[in-house]
Amino acid sequence: MILTPFLDTQGIHNFRDYGGWKTRDGGMVRKGLLWRSGQHVGASAADLRAIDALDIRTVVDLRGASERERNPCKRSENFMAEVFFHEGETSSSPPHMDVDESTSTEDYARQRMLAVYTRMPRNPAMIGMFSRYLRLLAERDGASLVHCFAGKDRTGVAAMLMLHILGVDRDDQMAEFLRTNDAPTMKVLASQSVPGIEKKLGRKLEEGAVQALLGVREEYLATYWREVEEEHGSLDSYIETVLGVDELLKEQLRQRFVA
């Protein structure tokens, strides 16, 4: 399987097409329609031209109001997409920046990230945005982009939910999630987040803590799955009863995004 490489960006982290995965029935998730990334506050002129070439017509911004205010996304003069977002906060802070005075060591940083994934299945704002994202994908033409601050936690779960509905098996859902660690733009994310984290903590982060916060691990997504399954029996049940995605909507998504 040959997946689309990361978009060559200078000021946007983790920009990639998450199509290209095989489905259990022998199909393949269409490429060129499902994009994901971190925020665009540091986008260069070249980045904006590259985005314009993708014909993205729908942008779903999973950040909360204060995140958007602090980090407004740059857009080109040719930007024509409609942007959808939650009016309030979607988390107490960007998940990888949800830190306290104990977060300078790797294990504490890891525990903070696991707590994020434990809470996410029950976060009303994220439930609403994940449901909205899936409905928009079924309703709107053209390519779409989903992003948050880092493009790895909230965005990673959004992409996983979509791939699950399209029939991609769990191992490949995890593989897509972990591709974040191969992003060639980790320095972009570090520059946008580490100074703020260290200012909040009042000290330097250890390298292991930086990796735990800025990257992703199998146990992060596995925690999300475990929480969903313990409460709802299965991810399919959660998608239907909590996110409100019924079989008709699932079939609409498969018809549009599976070749």
Produce one character per residue of 92-102: b if its CB has 16 or more CB atoms within 10 Å, e if not: ebbbbbbbeee
Domain boundaries defined on the chain: 16-254
The per-residue DSSP string of 162-173 comes to HHHHHT--HHHH
Tokens of 95: 């998940």
Q: Mean pLDDT for the chain?
A: 93
Residue 40, pLDDT above cutoff 50: yes
The token pair that represents 190 in the structure block? 């570090």
Enter the pTM of the model: 0.94
- The domain over range 16-254 is classified in CATH as 3.90.190.10: yes
Question: Of 45-59, 124-138, 163-177, 184-198, which gets the smallest average pLDDT?
Answer: 184-198
Residue spans of alpha helices (H) in 25-169? 45-52, 65-70, 106-119, 124-139, 154-166
pLDDT number for residue 197? 76
Smallest Cα–Cα separation from 51: which of 78, 19, 21, 30? 78
**Mean pLDDT value across residues 130-154:** 97
